[in-house]
Structure 1
């Protein structure tokens, strides 16, 4: 175990960061399943965020996620089949369709935000508010400007 006297090895840091990320995301999806959203996957959350309040075409969604228009279209088809989005005519271009959040899609995003708040509160309870705040500040310092992007699905897929 790493400490001030015995620092960890270089490969441990990204693995620990990823394990922390996975623990939060996995717990969130357990919570969402209990709230009536058992079919939601992490990639769907990125897509729903990228669709946003205004909606998005498959091309726009693909650019926002860093995936092809075809991959974005398949994601929209899956989200539509699950009732999280609907396709509507684009008011600015009748040839295009927009994916727009349904009430169910909005519910899963609201549930996700509430779940993330509860999970952060659990970290605060276990680690302490100062340590969690310091961790967040340190990660903001180390993350490059603009590092928070929605294209994580594309990044993980290569």
Structure 2
């Protein structure tokens, strides 16, 4: 049975969604019930250098106002903090807190567990083959982890 290109795209998206939803649910079971995938993307962007709302907005392909709302939520929950810029005391820089890094590490651990579950379901050779084929098709690093708005760039959306 041959599938359409749209079917393939939906299967790939479904695989991502399945993993992301399962990871979010498991984070909640582990005590992080207030974490959503966008929070992970935002904290990774901050770690990679997006130290203010404007830069975070650019990295996430959202407005400065949307980025500021995400920052406010992350600050309120203790995942990020604002520190004084050592080069300009008037400027505050965003930094991921120890709690924020703990959430990121938990998430990474959960994704490893989910990968292991898939490996048990389809076998290690099949999963390794799937990963090899995907890497061949999309590249070893197909999406930067700090930029969930990558699709907007490819479609001529905001940079």
Q: Which band: TM-score by shorter chain?
A: 0.7 to 0.9
SS in 1 for 2:78: coil
SS in 2 for 1:47: helix
TM-score normalised according to structure 2 size: 0.85
* 1:58/1:98 contact within 8 Å kept: no
Alignment of 1:2-151 (within 5 A): 6-52=1-47, 56-143=51-138, 147-149=142-144, 150-151=146-147
Alignment size in residue pairs: 152
Mapped to 2, the partners of 1:13 and 1:101 lie a distance apart of 36
Cα distance, 1:153–1:39 mapped onto 2, change above 3 Å: farther
Output the aligned Cα RMSD: 2.1
* 1:57/1:96 contact within 8 Å kept: no
Mapped to 2, the partners of 1:27 and 1:106 lie a distance apart of 20
**What stretches of structure 1 of length at least 5 have no aligned partner?**
1-5
Q: Deviations over 1:12-60 (max 9, x none)?
A: 1011111111110111011100111101111111001111176722233
SS in 1 for 2:92: strand
Displacement, 1:148?
1.3
Cα distance, 1:63–1:27 mapped onto 2, change above 3 Å: same
Displacement, 1:153?
4.1
Mapped to 2, the partners of 1:109 and 1:61 lie a distance apart of 17
* 1:87/1:99 contact within 8 Å kept: yes
Q: Report the counterpart of residue 152 of structure 1 in structure 2.
A: 148
TM-score normalised according to structure 1 size: 0.86
Displacement, 1:69?
2.7
SS in 1 for 2:31: coil
Q: Where in structure 1 do 4 or more consecutive aligned residues deviate above 6 Å?
A: none
Q: Report the counterpart of residue 3 of structure 1 in structure 2.
A: none
Mapped to 2, the partners of 1:27 and 1:60 lie a distance apart of 30
**What stretches of structure 2 of length at least 5 have no aligned partner?**
none
